[in-house]
Amino acid sequence: MSTDSAHSFLNFLNNQSNEIKFTIEIESDGSIAFLDTEIIHDDNSVFDISWHYKPSNCGVYIPSCAYAPKKYKQAAMKCLFNRAKRICSTDVLYKKSCDFIISLFIRNGYSVNFILDVKRKVEHRAVNHSNRSKNNDQSVSENSDSVSENPGASDISMKIVYWKLPYIKESEMEIRNRVHRLNKILKDSKIVIVFKTTKTANFFHRKDKMPIGLSSNVIYKFSCEHCPKCYIGETTRHLQTRINEHIKGRPLPTEITLHNHVNDNSAFSVIGRTNNTRIAESVLIAATDRSLLLNSNTTSVPLFLRL
């Protein structure tokens, strides 16, 4: 299909409905990216597939200096090497992807030997997996007409017991060695260690606190600063938008607008967050002393079914 034909077809699709619009992406230099793959073709219409690394990716992975188990660091590398191994259709493209992955983790502080060791393990496991698959297929083919004398022998499953422990770098290897020796003694069970790491979010918030006025899907309470009266409401929009409507009385005056005391933003507070704001509002109104409420309606939705 030519470029002109592709654009004509795109226009045809986009003229079918105003509710949905499609876009088009044209190949550049004989290649086009799709998700994490790059499809490449030459003048002979031979197609190859390579691993695609998005330009928007900042290249930050778990650094070498991170206070985390060694396996966590290896897992990040294995993930990318496995992806390149499974996606790339030629050895040349695979080598090119691996070179990029190696440079990526060098920038994250890892030594070349450490990275290459992980790469070799990934490739060795891929070869073993391929050989096992071939052997299993051959075994099934040879024994398709035979009946097993001991059908229950393969049904024995190993019980996995997970131990969750806080991660301490100085004792990681000692714990792993002890568990390894313990697993040699156990027959029908296997212990797997899961280390729990401490994150920076455990000590302080990594994001700025959202201003109360930008909160949405909330139940709010107005407490008059000059008397005991209060008002309970709900909004799915930004709270500040609803507060402005109460204070200014636009587009329509509310119970707060008509109240005989003047108040400002400080009189409003968030008392609940939920996607079912109207139900929560009704429950909180029902739990509040009616003599103190400014609300003209006692509920937004019925709380009890009347038969």
* Res. 143 pLDDT band, cuts 50 70 90: low
State which H helix or E strand residue 222 sits in: strand 218-223
Tell me what the mean pLDDT of segment 286-303 comes to.
82
Q: Which residue has the higher pLDDT, 278 or 303?
A: 278
Tell me what the mean pLDDT of segment 268-286 comes to.
91
% of the chain with per-residue pLDDT over 70:
88
Tell me what the mean pLDDT of segment 120-135 comes to.
79
Annotated domain spans of the chain: 25-130, 160-196, 212-292
| Torsion angle (degrees, nearest 10) of CA 87, 91, 93, 98 | 80
Distance CA 26, CA 33 (A): 10
The pair of three-digit structure tokens given for residue 276, joined into one six-digit string: 């079912």
In the predicted model, is pLDDT for residue 151 greater than 50?
no
Distance CA 51, CA 39 (A): 9
In the predicted model, is pLDDT for residue 234 greater than 90?
yes
Q: Which residue has the higher pLDDT, 147 or 238?
A: 238
In the predicted model, is pLDDT for residue 289 greater than 80?
yes
Q: Which residue has the higher pLDDT, 145 or 300?
A: 300
Tell me what the mean pLDDT of segment 256-278 comes to.
90
**Strands 218-223 and 268-273, sheet pairing:** antiparallel
Tell me what the mean pLDDT of segment 196-206 comes to.
76
Q: Which residue has the higher pLDDT, 305 or 231?
A: 231
Distance CA 265, CA 247 (A): 8
For residue 187, the model assigns a pLDDT of 82
pLDDT in tens, 15-66: 988 888 888 888 787 888 888 888 888 777 778 888 888 888 888 888 998 8
In the predicted model, is pLDDT for residue 169 greater than 90?
no
